[in-house]
């Protein structure tokens, strides 16, 4: 079906979201809690757009709004710019320690925050970590409590039995809010201590035994745990080239 985004007619599959339609057509809508792998969460509200349907017009979150009618979408109006600036301002106020938010605050020209805020905070509660953990099949972390106390944590903040120490949460986090520390032979994340397997050849960290076993059981492949990805590739190449005489 045909809709209009920023005065440009575009052809879309009914049922996809406005955000997906916009990205397919190289129209940029900013997001913080969206990831192609997980779909829209409707949480950060950065992706608000204006939808006109006949005579009625309203502001919607483009990441959760499924297209079912021939609507007209505006992705940047003064009202939307104001919302985005305020959301960035509010999230900066929440996580002033995060370089990511400091940068965005400059870009969006948000005014000074004058009241006392927690200077140490980095997390903007986009929950991409929760989604990544869920997708990994672990669900070791979740958004806990409610209201202004909402935060990400493991059950009762204990070392979660479900956590395999894969670090997917830390990797996807846009603000570096999840602490993952590695020593010679240990990895610590979410109050849980793991042994750290290092590559036998180059010494790069490969993962935790729990993580490697989990991947092996999920994929059904007996992986060679002793090597990192790069060394494994090199070894495979050597093996293959061995056949060429």
Partner 1 sequence: MQAANDLGSKLILVCCGTGCLANGSMEVYQSLKKQLTDSEVTVKTFTKPTGCNGWCEKGPLVKIMPDDITYCQVKASDVPAIVEKTIKNGELLDRLLYRDPQTKKRVKSHHQIDFYKKQHKLALRNIGEIDPASIDDYVARDGYKALAKALQEMTPTGVVEEILAAGLRGRGGGGFPTGIKWRAAAEQAARPKYVICNGDEGDPGAFMDRSIMEGDPHTVVEGMIICAYAIGATRGFIYVRDEYSLAVTNLGIAIDSARRHGYLGNNILGSQLCFDIEIVRGGGAFVCGEETALMASIEGNVGEPRDKYVFPTEKGLWGQPTIINNVETWANVPVIINNGAEQFAALGTAGSKGTKVFSLVGKVVNTGLVEVPMGTTLRDIIFTIGGGIPGGRSFKAVQTGGPSGGCIPESRLDLQVDFDSLLEAGSMMGSGGIIVMDDRTCMVEIARYYVNFLAGESCGKCTPCREGIKALLDTLTAICHGQGREEDLLYLEEISQTMQDASLCALGRTAANPVLSTLRYFKAEYLTHIRDHRCPAGICRELTEFEIDPAACTGCGLCTKNCPVDAISGEKKLAHIIDQNKCIRCGECINHCRFNAVLVR
Q: Is 187 in the site for partner 1 (CB under 8 A)?
A: no
State the nearest-atom distance from the C-beta of 42 to partner 1, in Å. Answer: 5
> How many residues of this chain bind partner 1 (CB under 8 A)?
35
Residue placing its CB nearer to partner 1 in the complex, 94 or 192 = 94
Query: End-to-end CA distance of the chain, in Å?
Result: 58
Residue 49 zone, left/alpha/beta (φ > 0; ψ -120 to 50; rest) = beta
Q: Quick check: helix, strand or coil at residue 123?
A: coil
Q: Is 143 in the site for partner 1 (CB under 8 A)?
A: yes
Q: Is 219 in the site for partner 1 (CB under 8 A)?
A: no
Site for partner 1 in 1-60 (CB under 8 A): 42-46, 48, 59-60
Burial class (CB in 10 A: 0-12, 13-18, 19+), 76: middle
Q: Per-residue x/- mask for partner 1, residues 64 to 83, rule CB under 8 A?
A: xxx------------x--xx
Residue placing its CB nearer to partner 1 in the complex, 135 or 213 = 135
Is residue 58 a contact partner of residue 73, using CB atoms and an 8 Å limit? no
Is residue 44 a contact partner of residue 128, using CB atoms and an 8 Å limit? no
CA distances from 10 to 34, 72, 134 (A): 22, 10, 34
How far, in Å, CA of 90 to CA of 61, rounded?
A: 18
Residue placing its CB nearer to partner 1 in the complex, 54 or 147 = 147
**Among 207, 112, 194, CA closest to 160:** 194
Q: Per-residue x/- mask for partner 1, residues 97 to 116, rule CB under 8 A?
A: -----------------xxx
Residues engaged in binding partner 1 (CB under 8 A): 42-46, 48, 59-61, 64-66, 79, 82-83, 86-87, 90-91, 93-94, 114-117, 124-125, 142-143, 145-150
């Amino acid at each position: 079906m045909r809709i209009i985004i920023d005065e440009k007619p575009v052809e879309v599959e009914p049922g996809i979201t406005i955000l997906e339609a916009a990205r397919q057509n190289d129209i940029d809508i900013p997001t913080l809690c969206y990831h192609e792998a997980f779909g829209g969460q409707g949480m950060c509200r950065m992706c608000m757009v204006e939808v006109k349907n006949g005579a009625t017009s309203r502001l919607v979150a483009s990441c959760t709004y499924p297209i079912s009618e021939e609507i007209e979408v505006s992705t940047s109006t003064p009202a939307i710019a104001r919302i985005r600036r305020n959301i960035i301002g509010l999230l900066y106020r929440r996580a002033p320690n995060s370089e990511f938010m400091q940068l965005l605050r400059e870009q969006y020209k948000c005014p000074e925050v004058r009241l006392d805020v927690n200077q140490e905070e980095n997390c903007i509660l986009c929950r991409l970590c929760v989604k990544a953990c869920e997708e990994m099949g672990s669900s070791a972390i979740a958004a806990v409590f409610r209201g202004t106390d909402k935060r990400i944590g493991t059950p009762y903040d204990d070392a979660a039995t479900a956590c395999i120490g894969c670090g997917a949460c830390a990797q996807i986090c846009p603000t570096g809010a999840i602490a993952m520390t590695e020593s010679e032979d240990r990895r610590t994340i979410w109050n849980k201590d793991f042994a750290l397997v290092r590559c036998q050849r180059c010494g790069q960290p490969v993962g935790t035994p729990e993580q490697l076993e989990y991947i092996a059981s999920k994929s059904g492949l007996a992986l060679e745990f002793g090597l990192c990805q790069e060394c494994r590739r090199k070894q495979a190449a050597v093996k293959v080239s061995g056949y060429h005489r």
